[in-house]
Amino acid sequence: MSQTPHAHPTDLNTAKQLGLLPEEFQHIVEALGRVPNFTELCAFSGMWSEHCSYKNSIKWLKTLPRTGPDMLAEAGKENAGLIDIGDGLACAFKIESHNHPSAIEPYQGAATGVGGINRDIFTMGARPIAQLNALFFSHPAETKSQWLMRGVVKGIGDYGNAFGVPTVAGQVFFDDSFRQNPLVNAMSAGIVEHHKVMSAIATGAGNPVYIVGSATGKDGIHGASFASGDITESSADNLPAVQVGDPFQEKLLLEATLELIDSGAAVGIQDMGAAGIICSTSEMSEKGGHGMDIYLDRVPTRGGEMQPYELLLSESQERMLVVVHKGREKEVEAIFDRWDLQCACIGEVTGQDRLRFYMHGTLEAELPASLLVLGGGAPVYEREFAEPAYIKTAKQFSPSQIPQPKNLKDTALKLHAQPNLVSRTWVTRQYDSTIGTANLSANKPSDAAIIWVKGTQKALALTVDVNPRYVQADPKKGAMIAVAEAARNIACSGATPKAITNCLNFGNPYQPEAYWQFVHAVKGMGEACKAFGTPVTGGNVSFYNQFTKGNQTIPVAPSPSIGMLGLLHDLKHHTGLAFQKPGEAIFLLGEATNDIASSEYLRCFYPDLLSPAPYFVLEKEIVLCTLIQHAIAQGLVASAHDVSEGGLWQCLLESAYPNMLGFEAFLDDSFRPDAYLFGEGQGRILISADPENEEALLDLASEAGVPLTLIGHTLPNKVRVEGEDWGNIEDWYTIYTESLEKYLQVTQ
C-alpha cells in the first residue's frame, strides 16, 4: 500500500470554497508539515466547521457550570449527558438543533433531527423513553410559515411515532424574526443501568472497527458545513446536504445496539451524525488516545460510486461506528444479521494518534486525530461583540406610556386568540404521546412532562423552555428566565430540578451585535444554573440563524432553548396544573408587579414598541421553587401552574380547561388591571387548594418570605372578574382550541 497520501492538490482558494479561513489553512499546512490533499482538506472543513468544532463558542461554553454530584459523564465528552437517578439507574438526555435542514426541506430536516438525537441516547446504552421539541416559526397565518410548520410537525410525528418513543412535551413559539429561518430543536431522554453505560471511545490496538446500520449515500455531504453558514435564497441548491431518515431502520438499530451492549463485545460506540465517518473516527480515536486504519472501499454504499471525501463526510442516517473486542467479530456480526442490518468491518484501531484512510489500497488521507477535534487542534476564537443600539431604547420603556384598556374583557378576548397563547392541539395530536405507557402527564397534565421509571416509584420530569422575546430584550436576563421557568415547571409538577441540556440558537458570530447576544445569554444561563444547582450536561450551538430585511441581515430572536431534567422522587407527589373541583381556593404565590414589559399583551396591542425583559429576581426564584416543592410534599396543593406567557389571566384559563371549571378572580387595587392580569413579571405560581389548607399555606409562605394572595375560587362553569360576568368557560375554550387551526386554514 502507498505510504504517502494520494495527491489531490489544494490551495488557499480551495480552502475558502470549503468554508475554511485563510489562517486555518495556514495552520493546517504548518501542523501537517505539508499542503493537505483535497480529501484531507474536506475532513478539516467538516471537523473545523462551527457545527463540529464550536470554534466561536467554546470559550464561553467552558464558563458554564459543568459538574455536579449526580453527573456520571463529563459535560460534552459523551454522546449525551448522564445523570444518576438512583437505584443503579441513570438518565441520558440531550437537545440538538436541525435548523438549516428544516428551513430547506422541513419534513426530512425535522425527521432526521429526531433520529439523530435518539441515536445519541441509545449509543450510550440507554433506551429512549421520551422526546421533546422546541419549534420556532413566523406567524401561522403566513403561507411560508404554514408550509414550514406542516412539514416540521409531520416529520417529527412520522419519525417519532414509527420509531416508537412518545413525544411528551415541548413548545411552539411564533415571532416574525423566524420567517426565513425557523428553529427546530429536538430533545430525547432515556434510561440506562450504570453498568451498561457505553462510551464513545476507541481503545485497544488491533480491535476491529465496524460501521453498522444503513448504507452510506450522498445525502448529507457537507451537512456540518451547511449548518455552519447563512441561509440564503440559494440555500435550496444545497438539498443534497439534507439527510433522509428511515425510522423503521432506526428501530432495528436501537434493538441491535442494546443487544450488542448487553453482550459485552463492544469497546465503544458513536452515532454517525454531523460530518459522518470523519467525525466518528476522529472523536473516538482522540478520546481513547489511539488511531485507526480505515478502508473506505469496505463501507456499504448505495447510489453508485462514491469518492473518498464523500464517504468521509456523508451524513446518511441510521449509522453508527462501533469498536469491537478482537476475537468477538462473529458474535457481533450475528447480532446485526439477526436484526437484518448491515455490519461491515472497515478497519482497526491502531496504537498511535493517526487516522489513515485507504481506498482500494491507496492511502487517500493521513491525519492526526487530535488535530481535527474540539479540545485538540481545532481552532478556538474570541470574537468581537458590541451591545446593539436597540437595547438602550428598550431600557427607556415605562408602563406609564401605555394607556389602560377601555374594556378589560374585550382586551382579554383578543389577547387569548394570539398565536403564542392558543392551544397547540393541532401540533400535539400528530404525535403519539402515550406509547410505552409511562407518560403520566397524558392523563394528568402538568407543567413538566412526568415519565414513570418503571419498576420504581420515581419519575423523570422533563421540560424545554425559552421565550425569545425576553432574550432579545435582555440576553442575560432572558436566558436566566429560561432556566428559572424550566425549574418552576419542574417544581410545580412536584419534582426537583437536576440538570440541563441546552440548544443555543443565535445569529452570525462574526456580527458583533449577534455575538453580544450569545455571550450575555451564556453568562445569564451560567449564573442561573449555578443558583439552581443544575449543571449543564451538554447540548448544541447553532449559529447563522438570521433573516433578510431590505439590505440588512438581521439575526433571529436569540433562542437558547433550555431542556431541563428533574426527578420526581415519589409518584404520589405528581401535581397537575388543573383545578380539581368547584369551591377550591385560588392563590397567587409570588410577587405581583406593574410590569408589562416584553409581554404578549404589549406585543399584541403595541407591536413596534421596544421594552426590556420582564421583572425577574433570581434569588426569589430559588425560594419560590423550594416553597412549592414543600407545599406539594405536605399535601397542601391541589394544582400548581407557573405564570408565564399571557400572564395571570392565561394561567387561570389554562388551569380551568382540563376539567372545564369556571372561576371567579379578583383584582388588586395596588396594580394596574392590565399589568395584574396580563403582565409577565416572573416568579409567580398559581395554585389551587382546599380552603381548609389556607392557614397552613400562609404559614409556609410567610416562613419563606413569599407573598401568598387569595385571588378567587373555582366555580362549576362561569367566569367572573371582580363580580362581572365574563361568560362561560366553554366560550373561552372555543377561542383557545380553534384559533390556531383558523390561522393555519385547517379544514376538517
Are the C-beta atoms of residues 503 and 542 closer than 8 Å to each other? yes
Tell me if residue 51 is catalytic.
yes
Q: Is there a contact between 300 and 215 (Cβ–Cβ < 8 Å)?
A: yes
The active-site residue, picked from 6, 51, 416, 641, is: 51
On whether the CB atoms of residues 644 and 638 are closer than 8 A, the answer is no
Tell me the three state secondary structure of residue 295: strand
Phi, psi of 721 (to 5 degrees): -130, 120
Q: What share of the chain is helix, strand, coil (3-state, %, to 5)?
A: 40, 25, 40
CB 615 within 8 A of CB 525: no
C-alpha cell at 231: 441561509
**Using CA atoms, how far apart are residues 123 and 100, in angstroms rounded to an integer?**
25
The Cα 509–Cα 276 span in angstroms is: 24
Active site residue 98: yes
Rounded CA-CA distance 709/698 in Å is 9
With contact defined as beta carbons under 8 Å apart, do 508 and 514 qualify?
A: yes
How many angstroms separate the CA atoms of 565 and 448, rounded? 9
First to last CA, the chain: 65
Return the closest-CA partner of residue 730 out of 670, 629, 653. Answer: 653
Residue indicated by cell numbers 427546530:
184
Q: At 106, which amino acid appears?
A: P
Scan for cell 360576568, then name that residue: 725
Query: Which helix (H) or strand (E) segment is 554 a member of?
Result: strand 552-555
CA gyration radius for the chain? 26
In DSSP terms, which residues pair with 184 in a beta bridge? 135
Count CA within 13 A, CB hemisphere, residue 20: 28
- Point out the catalytic residue in the list 6, 8, 98, 573: 98
Within 10 Å of residue 703's Cβ, how many Cβ atoms?
10
Q: Which of 50, 34, 52, 51 is nearest to 366 (CA)?
A: 34
The 10 Å Cβ neighbour count of residue 346 is 23
Residue 297: phi, psi to the nearest 5? -70, -10
Residues carrying an active site annotation: 51, 98
